[in-house]
Amino acid sequence: MAKSIVRFDDSLPILTEVVASELGHETLAAGTILRDTMGRLAFFSATALPEETVTHLSIRLQEALGAYARTDRIVASASDYGTAPVLTDPLTLRITIGPHSVRLLDRRLVGADWLRAPAPPAPPPPRFVFSSLKGGVGRSTALTVAAAHLAGRGGRVLAIDLDMEAPGLGSVLLNSDTLPEYGIIDALVENGLTPLDESFYADLIGPSALGGQRGRIDVIPAFGRRSMKHPADVLAKIARAYAEESQPDGSVATILDQVRAIVNHFATPARYDAILVDARAGLHETTASSVLGLGAEVLLFGLDEPQTFQGYAALLAHLARFVPANGPPPEWLERLTMVQGKAPLDPEERAGFEQRCSTLFAEIGLGPRPSRATREAPFPAGPFHDVPWDEDVPDEEVLPEEWGPRNPLAVLDDARFQRFNPHLRRDLLSEAVYQTAYGALLNRIENAVFAKPPSNP
């Protein structure tokens, strides 16, 4: 029988099984698996290994992994040159592969920001990221309605368009008179050459006429006036906007670091009550900066269709790798909310979406966990009312551990918001018009933005 070809998805499980069988589970768990930019693997042991053991294990891994074995050095002992930096690299992830808990250092040409754990919650003002895997789900429209709603309550809102390859927020919230000189694309390009000064930051913001009389909406569009004047240069700027930036201290700022620095510059309660970010659709590198890097509440928009759950399974399964196997629920899970776009009016029809979201989170390890109960309560052979009960057993030992994401929200389908253009249809930003479709989403955001501080005892 011909030997089957090892593919990417097979490679890590094969390596872990071979190393565990040769060195044991503890040595596997203490070492680091290095995956290079091509996907090839090597194992760096945290303990010193005899030379014959290294040779034997190298041969076994080369035979088992085929093309996914590193060709230069597939097994390194603790005392070998170059092992210590791999074992102490801060980007190493602790992940679970089958029965094994292993450390993985995943070298990537692109997508390295996805290896960073979700940032802790940002200080005020509250930040909300409007994210989706596909366009046409109502994400940008919902952001515009939310901005207008908060401004109508007297709020000062900063809206940022990070979707540089399919910009839309600037044209919805601004006009030719209020479009600022620069957009986020210029900030990311110029930031790589010279530090941004206050003059540049001031030219990055345009005031929206949709802010109403009580509040204010400021906008950082994807493209500013310069890009509109020189459209032939836009693709050239996009190609450079994603570049990493070398810092004076020798460190490297990824696009996540750069976007976070720009947002942090404006994020003070003295200037704004809320920051709303329109993330790029899909799982691009810039999406990582929005979803992971801003310490924001993340609203995951999607329609009730298989593509939504297939795509979010990939995203959420990756995030599940940041959850310790037996640790407490991660704080950031409370900041993820699925939002059903263009949802049916009938609550019973929406229940299917909610159930599928719950199932998705549970199946990938971000939903309710099985009971941690370790004590078995024997059922009596007699009447059921005579069930034994031990008051000394803590509740957490017998009750299931319940944790998971917040319940999904729904933005109801409303034909009036198709071809959304609030400059032509200002009535669409009237609360009487949008409240029915967007009420649940707006309540969530408004409660966070205008939350009353706790009273003194």
% the chain with pLDDT above 70:
89
% the chain with pLDDT above 90:
63
Give me the pLDDT at residue 372, please: 45
Give me the pLDDT at residue 1, please: 59
Give me the pLDDT at residue 306, please: 94
For residue 375, pLDDT over 80 is answered with no
Q: Can you tell me the mean pLDDT for 234-263?
A: 86
Give me the pLDDT at residue 386, please: 57
Reported pTM: 0.82
State the average pLDDT for the chain.
88
Stronger pLDDT, 245 or 21, i.e. the higher one: 21
For residue 384, pLDDT over 70 is answered with no
For residue 343, pLDDT over 90 is answered with yes
**Lowest-confidence pick of 163-177, 212-226, 389-403, 428-442:** 389-403
Q: What is the pLDDT of residues 344-364, one digit of tens each?
A: 999 999 999 999 999 999 888
Give me the pLDDT at residue 455, please: 53
CATH class, domain 127-369+398-450, is: alpha beta
Q: Return the structure tokens found at 213.
A: 């009389």
For residue 2, pLDDT over 80 is answered with no
Q: Can you tell me the mean pLDDT for 223-244?
A: 90
Q: Can you tell me the mean pLDDT for 199-209?
A: 96
Give me the pLDDT at residue 285, please: 73
Give me the pLDDT at residue 369, please: 56
Q: Return the structure tokens found at 430.
A: 């009237």
Q: Can you tell me the mean pLDDT for 46-69?
A: 96
> What residue has token string 């995943």?
106
Distance CA 76, CA 43 (A): 6
Q: Can you tell me the mean pLDDT for 233-252?
A: 83
- Report the sign of the C-alpha dihedral through residues 39, 365, 283, 31, in that order: negative
Distance CA 188, CA 237 (A): 9
Those residues whose C-beta lies under 8 Å from the C-beta of residue 117, and which sit 6 or more positions away, are 292, 322
For residue 374, pLDDT over 70 is answered with no
Task: Find the Cα–Cα–Cα–Cα dihedral 349, 354, 360, 365, rounded to 10°.
Answer: -160
Q: What is the pLDDT of residues 405-445, one digit of tens each?
A: 789 999 999 999 988 999 889 899 999 999 999 999 999 99
Contact 233, 186 (CB under 8 A): no
Give me the pLDDT at residue 457, please: 47
Give me the pLDDT at residue 216, please: 96
Nearest to 219 by CA among 292, 151, 154: 151
pLDDT-based confidence at 371, cuts 50/70/90?
very low
Distance CA 100, CA 25 (A): 7
Angle at alpha carbon of residue 38, lines to 37 and 42, rounded to 5°:
80
The residues spanned by each domain of the chain are 8-107, 127-369+398-450
pLDDT-based confidence at 447, cuts 50/70/90?
very high
Per DSSP, the chain holds a count of helices (H) and strands (E) of 16, 15
Amino acid at 124: P
Q: What is the pLDDT of residues 31-53, one digit of tens each?
A: 999 999 889 999 999 999 999 99
